Amino acid sequence: MTTSSTLGKALLFLAVIGLAGCKKENEQQLRFTLASGYSISVNNGNVLVNGFKNDNNTFSTKYWVNAEVSSPSGFTALVKNQTGYRQSVDDQFRAVYSYKDLNGQLQNYQFDQGSLAKGGKMFYYKNNALVNMDTDSIGTISCVAFYNGQSYFAGALGKITSSEAGNYLRPLTPFVWDGHSSMILLPLPKQTFNFQGVSSIYIPGPNEIYVGGRCSVPMYWKNTEPVVLDERYGEVWQIAKSGSDVYAVGLINKRNSNSTGHTACYWKNGKLQELEDLAQAYGIFINGEDVYVTGSVGNVPIDYKPCYWKNGVRVDLPM
């Protein structure tokens, strides 16, 4: 499985960091709690959702089974083998993806969010062990997907840019990498006015790769071909396929704004299906004729509350 002002800036989290500096009238730090679903699946009739919780800038992964809070072990026991899902950031602020392999063992992949290369190399972590890419290119790996037990990665090449806050990596060119061969570079769509990297990668079969792009318009690549879904501001956060039908889940903004007031939605074969205003969607799962989507409701990040939709009907999740 798996906004510039919501999840798009540092995968949602940076959008609320500034809240830590807010003060109440008594000069004490404002406290807040928000959460969202990231990934969703259905296995043996159980609806499995996981996501994140931010309690006053303390982040943790949340797990729900059939709309009730679950322990990590209880959740993992119900996940089907050869299933991947997105977790919260870890204590080093790395994006974490988990994969339950063919033998039922959990493999964890960690990705630094926009950090500079170590020793001149692009890198990621598998079960906290550093893995360097065999390339001199500068860039960052953002996400991982699995097909037949093999891991595939997506990210962006870029250049180091200086600012008052220090050096940072500016993403310029998205790529796909199978972990062994040369990277496959992806062209940006002409509608791009602020490329911020990639959001997800999905591989349903041989010679078929989908990558979600953060290009200010909702879009993804099928292999190396950009597919733009709307001309308004929007984001695609996951792609799924059922039979010949291709689903992309995310959000649009009807005011063409990258700030607040989004609409959670998905596209089926390019046709827009709106779910709810003042909401955002990040994960999708197709179970027969049923479409499950997870995300959150709320106009601004501090108000985000986790939920999922089954065929458009919302189910709220406890914090």
Q: What are the pLDDT tens digits along the chain (319 aa)?
A: 443 334 444 334 333 333 333 444 443 467 899 999 999 999 999 999 999 999 998 999 999 999 999 999 999 999 999 999 999 999 888 999 999 999 999 999 999 876 666 666 789 999 999 998 888 888 899 999 999 989 999 999 998 888 787 777 889 999 999 988 889 999 999 999 899 999 999 999 999 999 999 999 999 999 999 999 999 999 999 999 999 999 999 999 999 988 899 999 999 999 999 999 999 999 999 999 999 999 999 999 999 999 999 999 999 999 9
Domain for residue 161, yes or no?
Answer: yes
Query: How far apart are alpha carbons 291 and 278 in whole angstroms?
Result: 20
* 111 SS3 class: strand
Q: Could you tell me the sign of the dihedral formed by the alpha carbons of 137, 99, 244, 228, in that order?
A: negative
pLDDT value, residue 24: 41
> For residue 118, what pLDDT is reported?
61
Taking phi over 0 as left and psi of -120 to 50 as alpha, with beta for the rest, 166 belongs to left
Whether the Cβ atoms of residue 13 and residue 59 lie closer than 8 Å to each other: yes
Q: b vs e for 29-38, b when ≥16 Cβ sit within 10 Å of the residue's Cβ?
A: eeebebbbbb
Domain, as residue range, for 98:
14-316
DSSP 77: H
- How does DSSP classify residue 76? H
Describe the strand order of the beta sheet including 290-297 as a list of residue ranges. Answer: 279-287, 290-297, 305-310, 313-316
Q: What is the DSSP string of 36-75?
A: EEEEEEEETTEEEEEEEEEETTEEEEEEEETTEE--HHHH
What is the pLDDT, as a whole number, of residue 16?
38
Q: How many CB atoms lie within 10 A of CB 78?
A: 16
Q: What angle do CA 78, 84, 85 make, to 5 degrees?
A: 85
User: Domain total for the chain?
Assistant: 1
Q: What is the pLDDT of residues 89-108, one digit of tens each?
A: 998 889 999 999 999 999 99
Q: What is the pLDDT of residue 23?
A: 40
Report d(CA 76, CA 101) in Å as an integer. 11
Q: Which residues contact 130 (CB under 8 A, 6 or more apart)?
A: 118, 123
Answer yes or no: is 8 within a domain: no
162: in domain:
yes
* pLDDT for 262: 97
pLDDT value for 113 = 75
DSSP string, 144-209: EEEETTEEEEEEEEEEEEEETTEEEEEEEEEEEE-SSSPPEE-PPPTT-SS---EEEEEEEETTEE
Find, among 236, 237, 279, the residue nearest to 254 by Cα: 279
In a domain, 2, yes or no: no
Number of H-type helices and E-type strands within the chain: 2, 25
pLDDT digits (tens, 9 = 90+) for 179-215: 888 899 999 999 998 999 999 999 999 999 999 999 9
DSSP H or E run through 284: strand 279-287
Rounded to whole angstroms, how far apart are CA atoms 252 and 254?
6
In a domain, 53, yes or no: yes
Side-chain-side CA neighbours of residue 44 (13 Å): 7
Q: Is residue 147 part of a domain?
A: yes
How far apart CA 234 and CA 221 sit, in angstroms, is 15
Residue 97 belongs to a domain with what CATH number?
2.120.10
This prediction's pTM: 0.89
Residue 109 lies in a domain: yes
- Would 6 be classed as within a structural domain? no
